[in-house]
Structure 1
Amino acid sequence: MEAGLKLDMNRLIRSDVITPGSYRCSSVCWTDGYSCEQRATATISADMSDPENGWLHIGIDGETQRILLWPMPRHFGGHQWYFACPRRHIPVSVLWMPPGAASFASKKHWDRQVAYQSQFLDQTDRAHRGQAKIRGRLCLIGSFDPDEWDFPPRPKWMRQRTYDNAEAKFDHYEHILEIGMLHLMDRLTGLL
Structure 2
Amino acid sequence: MSRPRERVCLQDGLKLDLNRLARKGFVRQGANIGVRGITWTHSYWGDVATGMISADMSGKEEGWFRIQLGSLDQWITLTARPRHFGGQQWYFVCPVRNRLVSVLWKPNGATRFCSRQTWGRQVAYQSQFNDPTNRAHAGKARIKSKLIADLDPDEWDFPPKPKWMRWATYNAYSDRHDRYDDVLDCGLIALAAKFYGK
Paired residue for 2:37, among 22, 27, 50? 27
Once residues 127 and 150 of structure 1 are traced to their aligned partners in structure 2, the CA distance between those partners, rounded to angstroms, is 20
Structure 1 residues 76 and 6: CA distance shift in structure 2, 3 A:
same
Are the aligned partners of 1:85 and 1:92 in contact in 2 as well (CA < 8 Å)?
yes
Once residues 171 and 37 of structure 1 are traced to their aligned partners in structure 2, the CA distance between those partners, rounded to angstroms, is 33
Moved more, 38-47 or 126-135: 126-135
Once residues 135 and 76 of structure 1 are traced to their aligned partners in structure 2, the CA distance between those partners, rounded to angstroms, is 34
Once residues 82 and 46 of structure 2 are traced to their aligned partners in structure 1, the CA distance between those partners, rounded to angstroms, is 38
**Would you tell me which structure has more helix in proportion to its own residues?**
1
Structure 1 residues 35 and 135: CA distance shift in structure 2, 3 A:
farther
Counterpart of 2:189 in structure 1 is 182
Counterpart of 1:129 in structure 2 is 138
Once residues 117 and 126 of structure 2 are traced to their aligned partners in structure 1, the CA distance between those partners, rounded to angstroms, is 17
Counterpart of 2:84 in structure 1 is 75
Secondary structure of the 2:65 match is: strand
Paired residue for 1:87, among 96, 100, 111? 96
Once residues 116 and 29 of structure 2 are traced to their aligned partners in structure 1, the CA distance between those partners, rounded to angstroms, is 24
Q: Which has the higher contact order (CA 8 A, sep 6+)?
A: 2
Letter in 1 for 2:112: S
Structure 1 residues 150 and 115: CA distance shift in structure 2, 3 A:
farther
Letter in 1 for 2:58: S
Are the aligned partners of 1:70 and 1:81 in contact in 2 as well (CA < 8 Å)?
yes
Structure 1 residues 121 and 63: CA distance shift in structure 2, 3 A:
same
Structure 1 residues 30 and 152: CA distance shift in structure 2, 3 A:
farther
Superposed CA RMSD: 3.4
Task: List per-residue Cα deviations over 1:44-99 (Å, max 9, x = no partner).
Answer: 10011111311111112242111010111233443211101011112111111111
Once residues 133 and 20 of structure 1 are traced to their aligned partners in structure 2, the CA distance between those partners, rounded to angstroms, is 32
Are the aligned partners of 1:36 and 1:136 in contact in 2 as well (CA < 8 Å)?
no
Structure 1 residues 170 and 75: CA distance shift in structure 2, 3 A:
closer
How many residues end up aligned between the 2 structures? 183
The alpha carbon displacement at 1:109 in A equals: 0.8
Task: List per-residue Cα deviations over 1:128-151 (Å, max 9, x = no partner).
Answer: 334566678899x97x9x9xx485
